[in-house]
Chain A
Amino acid sequence: MDLTYTEEEEAFRAGLRGWLAEVLPKLPGKPSVDDWPGRRAYDTAWQRMLYDAGYGEVHWDASATRRLIFLEETEKAGAPYVGANFVGLLHAGPTIASEGSPEQRERWLPPVLRGDEVWCQGFSEPDAGSDLASLRTRAWRDGDDYVVSGSKIWTSHAEVADWCELLVRTTPVSAEVPKHRGITWLALPMDAVGITVRPLRTLAGSAEFAEVFLDEVRVPVGNRVGAENDGWRVTMVTLSFERGTAFVGEVVACRRLLGELARAARASGRWDDPVLRRGLGRLSAEFGALWRLTQWNVSEAQRTGGVPGVGGSVFKLRYSHARQELYDTAAQVLGPGALDLDEAWTRERLSSLSYTIAAGTSQIQRNIVAERILGLPKGR
């Protein structure tokens, strides 16, 4: 149980702090949430700055501790988050890094690190959500291409992405081939002929994700990562990254938000309500512990040396609920302001409603904990 950082790690932290203090004040203002091209430009420019300063590859650093320090310090300093680079840096990138051929790594990874190319994730379909393996988007071999037809849904950043990590069915389900055996992982260029992107409006009013229709889209066979029909295994690698490390910075953010909430409550007089105060105190304990859980999981990953484990599900379950509680408490602090969309808290409260759904619903996380950690019989 050692929570101290090595001299080398502290030097990394100090260097990063110094750099952030220097560059953050010069950053342009954040674009509006509805300005997708502006958001893409802002997020990729930030990644480029990280790259030029030697931090481009930090999310893939072999040292999980350095990754943790990076996320902690950038969040504390109020630096931009990965944003539109999310899939490239935290899903598709790590998958290609661990499963791709040398040529594929050379083709796709450097542009992600330089902030030149943006990826999106085309997994979910209208009829394949939690039951992802039942996906139906078909791909046929035709010479050196796959020909892909079908539709994807909830694809975040689809409007501005250059590439899509796409799951397709290459072998139909049959008595011999169970549903998760016929899936293949493809890198789909988003400018290919036959792709239609239709933005979907979220309950928060913005267009965070989209439907993607694929009509006989040709994808070169060389864009396949992993073997044909082995896409499910490749996908599991990606999902464990998503659940294992993708939310670290947000825990730090929540601890900062709690402080802001307390200040707001003191200023408005709501602080006099002991029920509210106690709720904030409990959330403080909760997020403090979630940070420790992150350190615990990172230490474990460091020891096993690989892909994050199922402990990510334990974290995701508790974190997503705690974060929603944070915004419910914010609503108490705001009082009538909780119904006013001009309050940032109100808009963020709306966005937070997705946390228990995206990246595997809470029910699915509990299934994972019950079956894979506790070893209970397959559920029904």
Chain B
Amino acid sequence: MDFQLSDDQRALRRGLRDVLEGRFGRDALRAAVDAPRLDRELWRTLGDAGFFALCLPEDAGGVGLGLPAAVLAFEEAGRVLLPGPAVATFLAAGAVEGAAGGTVVVTAVAGPFVPWLDEADVVRGDAAGAVAVRSVDPLTPLHRVREGAPVPDEETPAVLLTAAEQLGSAARTAELAVQHAREREQFGGPVGRFQAVQHLCADMLVRAELARVAVYAAAVTGDPLEASGARLLADDAAVRNARDCLQVHGGMGFTWESDVHLHLKRAWVRAGLGGGAAGAEEALAAAL
């Protein structure tokens, strides 16, 4: 047993972080907020980098890696708040022509919503009659599926990849909070010397780290229940870390200009796509 990342996994993460931060850094994020649309060029860049084809077999033109590699990739996507139906496109690679290369954008019904319905090329699931809502997240357009439409069970890989995005966001907001606490000065020194602030930050790290091991382990075992548990912890970590990050930022945290609200809103949306906490908790309880 060596649960830590292998050298290859570290290299993969490094490489993906370089691509994502290089191609979708803070300026690109803010530009996207000002003009929300699906960046097809970015999508193709990711496709060229092998992002969507990580788990496709090599003889199908993929990279031939497993779920552990995929969660590392989606953790990175979550860190930078990559917009677009990346999970659905990733899972369609191999089944939908062009998805693996990032030339075709695939979305899917996820719980009561379909994200990115107007911009996607292919929709999986029954989205007929879905109605647009004014999405709380400026970077995730949402449609609500019509009343009574069948809500498909989320497949384990979808549960996990979304959890991985939440993990990336939770780890990122912990970093942002620590960074701000080191730089912002009040009462003659950095606010990070105040224990009340320190303890918020410490709890953020603990949440992110617990979610991390849960997500990684579920990716290794592929166990559906473990994945549901990981999703619960990751949803919780993303939402609560974003809240605490906002608190540490003070008034700045309440502004549109700060990135904190983007993390919080996306965390809420991701938590709302899929089966929801109640279903996961019931499933875990039933197995006791």
Within the complex, which residue of A2, A274, A314, A377 is in contact with B190, where a contact is CB–CB below 8 Å? A377
A258 to B281, CA, bound (A): 14
Number of residues on chain B facing chain A (CB within 8 A): 52
- At the interface, yes or no: A141 with Cβ under 8 Å from chain B? no
A295 to B286, CA, bound (A): 25
A6 to B4, CA, bound (A): 16
Please name the residue on chain B nearest to A261 by beta carbon: B288
- At the interface, yes or no: A296 with Cβ under 8 Å from chain B? yes
A5-B1, A278-B278 known; A374 and B199 CB under 8 Å? Answer: no
Question: A16-24, A37-45, A82-90, A279-287: which lies at the B interface?
Answer: A279-287
CB contact list, B138-196 vs A, under 8 A: 178, 181-182, 189-190, 192-195
- B205-223: CB near A (< 8 Å → 1, else 0) gives 1100111011011011100
- At the interface, yes or no: A3 with Cβ under 8 Å from chain B? yes
Q: Is the CB of B201 within 8 A of A292?
A: no
Number of residues on chain A facing chain B (CB within 8 A): 54
List A contacts of B216 (CB < 8 A): 1, 292, 296
CB contact list, B1-48 vs A, under 8 A: 1-6, 9
- At the interface, yes or no: A9 with Cβ under 8 Å from chain B? yes
- At the interface, yes or no: B133 with Cβ under 8 Å from chain A? no
Judged by DSSP, the binding face of A is helix
Q: Is the CB of A284 within 8 A of B287?
A: yes
Please name the residue on chain B nearest to A374 by beta carbon: B178
List B contacts of A290 (CB < 8 A): 210
A110 to B277, CA, bound (A): 52
List B contacts of A318 (CB < 8 A): 206, 210
Within the complex, which residue of B193, B206, B286 is in contact with A317, where a contact is CB–CB below 8 Å? B206
Of B199, B203, B217, B288, most buried by chain A (CB within 10 Å of CB) is B288
Q: Is the CB of B1 within 8 A of A379?
A: no
List B contacts of A4 (CB < 8 A): 1
A4-B1, A282-B281, A303-B2 known; A379 and B68 CB under 8 Å? Answer: no
- B43-87: CB near A (< 8 Å → 1, else 0) gives 000000000000000000000000010000000000000000000
Question: A163-171, A189-197, A362-370: which lies at the B interface?
Answer: A362-370
List B contacts of A286 (CB < 8 A): 210, 233
Within the complex, which residue of A262, A281, A379 is in contact with B194, where a contact is CB–CB below 8 Å? A379
List B contacts of A285 (CB < 8 A): 214, 228-230, 232-233, 280-281, 284
List A contacts of B205 (CB < 8 A): 314, 369, 373-374
Of A65, A281, A286, A375, most buried by chain B (CB within 10 Å of CB) is A281
List A contacts of B206 (CB < 8 A): 314, 317-318, 369
Task: Determine how close the nearest CB of chain A comes to the CB of B200; give it in whole angstroms.
Answer: 9
Q: Is the CB of B285 within 8 A of A377?
A: no
- At the interface, yes or no: B198 with Cβ under 8 Å from chain A? yes
Task: Determine how close the nearest CB of chain B comes to the CB of A315; give it in whole angstroms.
Answer: 9
Task: Determine how close the nearest CB of chain A comes to the CB of B199; give it in whole angstroms.
Answer: 4
- A258-278: CB near B (< 8 Å → 1, else 0) gives 110110000000000010011
A1 to B219, CA, bound (A): 9
Within the complex, which residue of B6, B199, B211, B280 is in contact with A2, where a contact is CB–CB below 8 Å? B6
A366-B199, A370-B198 known; A1 and B1 CB under 8 Å? Answer: no
Q: Is the CB of B229 within 8 A of A284?
A: yes
Q: Is the CB of A282 within 8 A of B284?
A: yes
Q: Is the CB of A278 within 8 A of B210?
A: no
A285-B214, A285-B284 known; A295 and B203 CB under 8 Å? Answer: no
List A contacts of B136 (CB < 8 A): none
List A contacts of B209 (CB < 8 A): 293, 311, 314
A290 to B288, CA, bound (A): 17
Which residues on A are within 8 Å of B, measured CB to CB?
1-6, 9, 65, 68, 258-259, 261-262, 274, 277-282, 284-286, 288-290, 292-293, 295-296, 298-300, 302-303, 311, 314, 317-318, 363, 365-367, 369-371, 373-380
In order of increasing CB-CB distance, the 8 nearest A-B pairs are A285-B229, A281-B281, A370-B198, A262-B288, A281-B285, A281-B284, A369-B202, A289-B214
- 8 extra A-B contacts, CB within 8 A, seeds A2-B1, A370-B202: A1-B4, A1-B5, A1-B219, A2-B2, A3-B220, A300-B4, A303-B4, A370-B199
What would be 6 A-B contacts, judged by CB atoms less than 8 Å apart? A1-B217, A2-B6, A280-B285, A365-B202, A377-B189, A380-B194
